[in-house]
C-alpha cells in the first residue's frame, strides 16, 4: 500500500506522456532489451532523441522529465548517466561526444552546449556532500547542489572532475586530470588541482602547457 501511495504521489502531477515514458524506461532497462536493435529505443526514451548513439554497456539511471539532447551526440562504451529525482534539468546541444566511462550525475541542472568533447573517465556532477554540517554524519547530511553550465566548443580532457557551481565558457580547454570549480573564461586553457588559468588558446605556446 505504501509503495502504491509513493508511486501515486510521483505520478500525480505528470502528463500521460510522461507516465508512458516512465513505464517505457523501466521496461527498456531489462537486460533482454540491451540488444543493438533496442539502443535507439533506449535513447529515445531516456534522451527524447533516438539519434543519440549509445555504446556498449551504457548505464542509464533515473529519468529526467526536463531533458533535451541535440542531434549527432555520441556516447561511448560504459558511460553512466544518472538523473537524481524527477526535477532535474538536463540538456546537451548538437554534435557532442562523451568518451569511455564518462559519468554525468544531475540532481538540479547540467547544461552542455554544442560541439563539446568530454574525455574518458571524466565526472560531471552538480551535487556534493555538505561537509559543513557537523550535526550529522556526512553521508546523512543533505547534499548541496549548484548548476553546471558548459558552453560551446569545449574540450574537457581525460579524468577531470567538474563540480557543482561551475561555468565553463565557450572555447575552453581543460587539461587532463583537472579538478574544476568556478568560472573558466572564454577561449582559455586551464589545468591542475584546482584548475587554474594557463594561457589563451591563441597565445604563443608555453613550455609545460597542454
Which pLDDT tens digit goes with each residue over 8-63?
Answer: 555 566 777 776 766 666 666 555 445 555 778 889 889 999 899 999 989 999 88
Return the percentage of the chain with pLDDT > 70, whole number.
Answer: 81
By CB neighbour count within 10 A (0-12 exposed, 13-18 middle, 19+ buried), where does 46 fall?
buried
pLDDT tens, position by position, 119-156: 999 999 999 888 888 888 888 888 889 999 999 999 99
* pLDDT (average), residues 91-110: 97
* pLDDT value of position 32: 46
Q: In residues, how long is the chain?
A: 210
Cβ–Cβ < 8 Å for 184, 170 = no
pLDDT greater at residue 206 or residue 114: 114
Q: What does the block give as the cell for 37? A: 536493435
In this structure, the number of other CB atoms found within 10 A of the CB of residue 150 comes to: 26
Q: Is the pLDDT of residue 168 over 90?
A: yes
| pLDDT band for position 209 (cuts 50, 70, 90) | very low
Q: Which CATH architecture has domain 36-199?
A: 3 Solenoid (2.160)
Q: Is the pLDDT of residue 191 over 70?
A: yes
Where exactly are the structural domains of the chain?
36-199
Measured N-to-C along each axis, helices 39-47 and 16-28 cross at an angle, to the nearest 10 degrees, of: 140
Q: Rounded distance, CA 107 to CA 64, Å?
A: 9
CB-side neighbour CA atoms (13 Å) of 129:
9
* pLDDT value of position 109: 97
* pLDDT (average), residues 176-194: 98
Q: Rounded distance, CA 124 to CA 146, Å?
A: 12
Q: What is the DSSP letter of 52?
A: P
* pLDDT (average), residues 169-196: 98
Parallel, antiparallel, or unpaired for β 144-145 and 127-128? Answer: antiparallel
Of 38-47, 68-77, 94-103, 166-175, which range is least confident?
38-47
Alpha helices in the chain (DSSP H): 2-11, 16-28, 39-47
* pLDDT value of position 138: 85
| pLDDT band for position 210 (cuts 50, 70, 90) | very low
* pLDDT (average), residues 102-125: 97
Q: Rounded distance, CA 93 to CA 23, Å?
A: 26
In this structure, the number of other CB atoms found within 10 A of the CB of residue 193 comes to: 11
Cβ–Cβ < 8 Å for 53, 94 = no
Amino acid at each position: 500500500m505504501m509503495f502504491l501511495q509513493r508511486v501515486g504521489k510521483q505520478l500525480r502531477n505528470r502528463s500521460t506522456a510522461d507516465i508512458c515514458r516512465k513505464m517505457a524506461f523501466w521496461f527498456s532497462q531489462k537486460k533482454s532489451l540491451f540488444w543493438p536493435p533496442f539502443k535507439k529505443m533506449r535513447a529515445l526514451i531516456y534522451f527524447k532523441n533516438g539519434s543519440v548513439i549509445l555504446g556498449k554497456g551504457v548505464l542509464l539511471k533515473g529519468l529526467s522529465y526536463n531533458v533535451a539532447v541535440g542531434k549527432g551526440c555520441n556516447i561511448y562504451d560504459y558511460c553512466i548517466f544518472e538523473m537524481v529525482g524527477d526535477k532535474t534539468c538536463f540538456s546537451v546541444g548538437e554534435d557532442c561526444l562523451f568518451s569511455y566511462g564518462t559519468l554525468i550525475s544531475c540532481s538540479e541542472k547540467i547544461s552542455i552546449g554544442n560541439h563539446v568533447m568530454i574525455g574518458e573517465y571524466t565526472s560531471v556532477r552538480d551535487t556534493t556532500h555538505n561537509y559543513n554540517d557537523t550535526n550529522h554524519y556526512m553521508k546523512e547530511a543533505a547534499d548541496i547542489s549548484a548548476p553546471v553550465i558548459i558552453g560551446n566548443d569545449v574540450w574537457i580532457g581525460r579524468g577531470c572532475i567538474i563540480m557543482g557551481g561551475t561555468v565553463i565558457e565557450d572555447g575552453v580547454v581543460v587539461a587532463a586530470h583537472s579538478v574544476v570549480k568556478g568560472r573558466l573564461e572564454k577561449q582559455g586553457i586551464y589545468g591542475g588541482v584546482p584548475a587554474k588559468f594557463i594561457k589563451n588558446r591563441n597565445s604563443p605556446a608555453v613550455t609545460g602547457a597542454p
